[in-house]
């Protein structure tokens, strides 16, 4: 006797969609797959590291683990963020290590059919093509999907 498994329309619809968390950086909309985000924290002061790149704000203690905090705005070549308690730190895992990303605010969860994700248009910038893996048109806003592996280099790739 074979058991028949039926999926509801809602389950099928959900399986066909990808979920992203959208946030603002320098007044612009960006997002990450929801599965890439470990947690979202309120901003708290960091310990500055001498000779760190301008986009590395310092390190933060996250339940006993020391994690680097990157200013996404500076990393994208936009203006540097003046960090305040109104900002958030999005904790992600890059190459198996926790990393914090400073953003102005988290906006919403976007559920979208992967077929509705548009390719990044060809522009004369290697970083743009590597950092942005697609664009979502959502509520009259163009939301860029961040390629975390390109934005945050693996430790062995970082030059001393």
Domain ranges of the chain: 2-153
The CATH superfamily holding the domain 2-153 is CheA-289, Domain 4 (2.40.50.180)
Q: What is the pLDDT of residues 110-151, one digit of tens each?
A: 999 999 999 988 877 676 788 899 999 988 899 999 999 999
Q: Which of 111, 61, 112 is nearest to 91 (CA)?
A: 61
Contact (CB, 8 A) for 43 and 85: yes
> What is d(CA 1, CA 100) in angstroms, rounded to the nearest whole number?
52
- Alpha carbon dihedral 76, 80, 84, 87, in 10-degree steps, equals -10
- pTM greater than the 0.85 cutoff: no
Q: Which of 90, 80, 78 is nearest to 128 (CA)?
A: 78
Q: What is the pLDDT of residues 86-108, one digit of tens each?
A: 999 999 998 889 999 999 999 99
Give me 31's structure tokens. 């997002």
Give the β-pairing of 141-146 and 28-33: parallel
Terminal-residue alpha carbon distance, the chain: 64
């Amino acid at each position: 006797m074979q058991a028949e498994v039926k999926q509801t329309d809602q389950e099928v619809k959900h399986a066909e969609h990808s979920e992203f968390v959208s946030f603002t950086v320098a007044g612009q909309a960006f997002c990450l797959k929801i599965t890439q985000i470990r947690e979202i924290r309120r901003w708290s002061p960091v310990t500055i590291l001498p000779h760190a790149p301008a986009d590395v704000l310092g390190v933060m203690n996250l339940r006993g683990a020391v994690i680097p905090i990157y200013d996404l705005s500076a990393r994208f070549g936009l203006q540097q963020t003046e960090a305040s308690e109104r900002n958030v730190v999005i904790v992600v895992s890059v190459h198996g290590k926790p990393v914090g990303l400073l953003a102005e605010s988290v906006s919403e969860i976007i559920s979208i059919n992967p077929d509705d994700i548009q390719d990044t248009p060809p522009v004369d910038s290697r970083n743009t093509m590597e950092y942005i893996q697609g664009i979502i048109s959502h509520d009259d806003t163009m939301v860029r999907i961040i390629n975390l592996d390109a934005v945050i280099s693996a430790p062995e790739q970082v030059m001393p």
